[in-house]
Amino acid sequence: MSTVHVRNVKKSYSDLTVIEDLSFDIHDGEFMVFVGPSGCGKSTLLRMIAGLESFQGGEVAIGERVVNGVPARDRNIAMVFQDYALYPHMTIRDNMSFGLKMRKTPTAEIERRVAAAAEILQIGHLLDRKPRALSGGQRQRVAMGRAIVREPDVFLFDEPLSNLDAKLRVEVRTEIKRLHARLGATMIYVTHDQVEAMTMADRIVVLKGGAVEQIGTPQELYREPRTRFVAGFIGSPGMNFAPARIEGDVATLVTGDRVPVRRLSSGTRAVQGEIGIRPEHVQLADPHGPGVETLVDVVEPLGADTLVAVRLGEAQLMVRLPGEIIPAEGDRLRLSFTPGATMAFDAQGLRI
């Protein structure tokens, strides 16, 4: 178990900057998720912590020890790869023991740890098989077992669920979470799936273009996104945006509708920007209260809820309505926004 510190790291391939000046700390025992679209540098960042990737500036520390230039084999980390990376010619038992053998762990201790990990992951009956005889989900469990037996300072996961089918993904997700609760170890987890990030993380680092957009707990990112990108990325479906002129606490939409917004700063100057509202913060308007006129575009009944895509002037909004309300395409809907849930963003995409 250990803390991890990333300070001012930079990485570039000749002219292309992949990571620019990144800093953050990961607490002892924390489950940290790096999330972002492909090419945002999240895997590169993880591999830098692992010691599989060099970087040009700054430093990475595991605990109090700066590990710049320390090869991966001396970092006491364990990694679970997307493609499992099991050794095909070894049995599952040998796969799990290999890292310990390389570190000259006594045989009795290796056996004890392998048995304990196999018990946790329920793979005891697979120990004498070869990886090719295992299903994808079983292989991923073995890959986790291989990490567990090492009792590393930090666990690293590089998109470990991407090759599993949807149902299995939810299962293994729960298993990793349970594992974290049980071991209390520091874990860093990379994914492009915001649902994985939200459900598993203690804290999330949202990355975009090699830079940190925001770091926070899932709740913080959901409730107080600092940028339009984070607001749109977190949540399912993501936040809706509509161009507006924002003046004080009131936004005037292109349609002329006036909507109250909850501002971060108390600016009074009029700004051309956007308002943001989450699908779950939109409801059918009280006939006598305030509301905006919209036109129903697409209806997706999900059972518990109905997702409705509506048009508000030029803007398109996704709205989550109760399951019993199923409008028809072309219907007109008068909608209102939950008070205090409407946010404002400037033209650069920063929350104001």
Partner 1 sequence: MSDTPRSRWSTPVFTIGALLFMSPILWMALSSLKSPQEVTAYPPKLLFTPTAANYAELFGRTDFLHNTFNSFVVAGASTLLGLVIAIPAAFAISWHRMVWPATVSLFARMAPGTLFLLPWFIMFSKLGMAGGYTALILAHAVITMPLALWILLPYLDATPREIVESGQIDGCRSGTILIRLVLPMIYPGIVVATIMSFVFSWNYFLFALALSGFDTKTAIVASFNFIGEGTTNWGALMAAATVIALPPLVLTFTVQRWLVSGLSFGAVKG
- Least separation in angstroms between residue 157's CB and partner 1 is 12
Cβ distance to partner 1 smaller for residue 166 or 304: 166
Instruction: Return all residues near 125 (Cβ < 8 A) that are at least 6 apart.
Output: none
- Least separation in angstroms between residue 100's CB and partner 1 is 9
Cβ distance to partner 1 smaller for residue 100 or 312: 100
- Least separation in angstroms between residue 78's CB and partner 1 is 6
What does the alpha-carbon distance between residue 142 and residue 289 come to, in Å, rounded to a whole number? Answer: 58
* DSSP 8-state code for residue 108: H
Cβ distance to partner 1 smaller for residue 69 or 287: 69
The two three-digit tokens of residue 271, written as one number:
């700004």
Catalog residues that contact partner 1 under the rule CB under 8 A: 50-52, 71-75, 77-79, 81-89, 98-99, 102-103, 130-134, 136, 139, 146, 150, 163
Cβ distance to partner 1 smaller for residue 78 or 206: 78
Cβ distance to partner 1 smaller for residue 79 or 205: 79
284, 351, 265, 267: which is closest to 324 by C-alpha?
A: 284
- Least separation in angstroms between residue 9's CB and partner 1 is 19
What does the alpha-carbon distance between residue 328 and residue 198 come to, in Å, rounded to a whole number? Answer: 32
- Least separation in angstroms between residue 113's CB and partner 1 is 14
Cβ distance to partner 1 smaller for residue 18 or 77: 77
What does the alpha-carbon distance between residue 224 and residue 182 come to, in Å, rounded to a whole number? Answer: 30
What does the alpha-carbon distance between residue 97 and residue 314 come to, in Å, rounded to a whole number? Answer: 60
Helical (H) or strand (E) element with 228: helix 228-233
Q: Angle at CA 218, nearest 5°, toward 41 and 299?
A: 95
- Least separation in angstroms between residue 200's CB and partner 1 is 22
118 three-state secondary structure:
helix
Instruction: Return all residues near 262 (Cβ < 8 A) that are at least 6 apart.
Output: 249, 340, 341, 342, 343, 344
- Least separation in angstroms between residue 50's CB and partner 1 is 6
325, 255, 323: which is closest to 294 by C-alpha?
A: 255
Cβ distance to partner 1 smaller for residue 106 or 289: 106
